[in-house]
């Protein structure tokens, strides 16, 4: 069955790229609403932006969606990952400005709030997007790919010159609450050498050592170090899950990312939906539902959330 949250939840913080205070309030929604962002500061034109792949516009270092009236919401990927990973299919996300708060740079606080608020099952059937044949998008030495599988599985590989990150690979099923326990607390990261360049471009103006892992060669500059030895690749998986959720439904298949980012995952979804032979909508029975992200999450899982 489809789900929503049992009660409203508010999160306040700073926009990673704008550097301005912002807040988002998640509100329960009816079946078949999907995930919809609503700009509460916009007056006189359509303020709602569906979190869908065909609403994504190119934006460096984050995922931005825009409606036909030109209203945008940026940096939605961590919240989208939390909703996907907790098995929430319908929510209205009211945002006070153009960007979702970055919080600690991971999805952990979103996940904690969702679990504490509770999940409400709706009287409507859930369908998933089943991958029927491999589909991929590649550029230079990077690639994003979807393949048929009987459960949501993710594999990701990254390779950075900085020894603090280096080459990392991780493969995991996203079933049985593993996103909550193993991925959701992994933070966004960057190289110290890139910080000034980003800020000169008007990006990362709200970035701090408290909401990002900053590396310099073989050094971790953020206080407290890493939460996981492979936190960087775990965060890339978190991002990918959030970006894949803009498909509009859970995906039944295997995602493989090699040095992939937000734009590449979106291009992969564009390629998928341009090929009707590569996918189908499949009704979700109890057996299939048990393999989806969010199923099996219990309050005790909060102990694993940062």
> Which of the residues are catalytic?
262
Quick one: tokens of 236? Answer: 């890339």
Q: How far apart are CA 241 and CA 293, in angstroms?
A: 10
Q: How far apart are CA 305 and CA 186, in angstroms?
A: 10
Q: How far apart are CA 257 and CA 80, in angstroms?
A: 18
Is there a contact between 291 and 284 (Cβ–Cβ < 8 Å)?
no
Q: How far apart are CA 79 and CA 49, in angstroms?
A: 15
Q: How many CA atoms lie within 13 A of 154 on its CB side?
A: 29
Q: How far apart are CA 93 and CA 23, in angstroms?
A: 10
Looking at residue 54, the DSSP 8-state letter turns out to be G
Looking at residue 304, the DSSP 8-state letter turns out to be G
Q: How far apart are CA 258 and CA 295, in angstroms?
A: 27
> Residues near 167 by Cβ (< 8 Å), separated by ≥ 6?
157, 158, 159, 160
């Amino acid at each position: 069955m489809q789900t929503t949250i049992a009660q409203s939840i508010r999160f306040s913080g700073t926009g990673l790229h704008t550097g301005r205070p912002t807040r988002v309030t998640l509100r329960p929604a009816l079946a078949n609403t999907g995930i919809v962002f609503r700009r509460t500061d916009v007056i006189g034109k359509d303020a709602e932006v569906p979190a869908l792949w065909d609403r994504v516009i190119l934006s460096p270092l984050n995922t931005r969606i825009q409606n036909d009236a030109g209203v945008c919401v940026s940096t939605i990927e961590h919240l989208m990952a939390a909703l996907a990973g907790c098995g929430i299919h319908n929510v209205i996300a009211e945002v006070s400005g153009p960007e979702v708060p970055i919080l600690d740079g991971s999805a952990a606080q979103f996940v904690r709030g969702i679990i504490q608020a509770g999940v409400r099952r709706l009287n409507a059937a859930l369908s998933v997007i089943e991958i029927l044949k491999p589909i991929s998008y590649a550029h230079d030495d990077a690639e994003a790919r979807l393949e048929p599988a009987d459960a949501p599985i993710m594999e990701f590989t990254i390779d950075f010159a900085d020894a603090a990150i280096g080459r990392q690979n991780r493969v995991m099923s996203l079933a049985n609450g593993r996103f909550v326990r193993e991925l959701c607390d992994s933070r966004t990261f960057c190289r110290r050498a890139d910080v000034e360049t980003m800020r000169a471009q008007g990006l990362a103006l709200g970035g701090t050592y408290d909401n990002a892992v900053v590396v310099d060669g073989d050094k971790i500059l953020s206080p407290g170090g890493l939460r996981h030895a492979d936190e960087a690749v775990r965060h890339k998986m978190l991002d990918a899950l959030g970006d894949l959720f803009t498909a509009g439904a859970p995906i039944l298949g295997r995602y493989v990312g090699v040095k992939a980012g937000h734009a590449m995952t979106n291009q992969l979804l564009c390629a998928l939906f341009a090929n009707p032979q590569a996918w189908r909508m499949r009704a979700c029975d109890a057996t299939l539902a048990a393999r989806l992200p969010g199923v099996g999450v219990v309050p005790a899982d909060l102990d694993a959330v940062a």
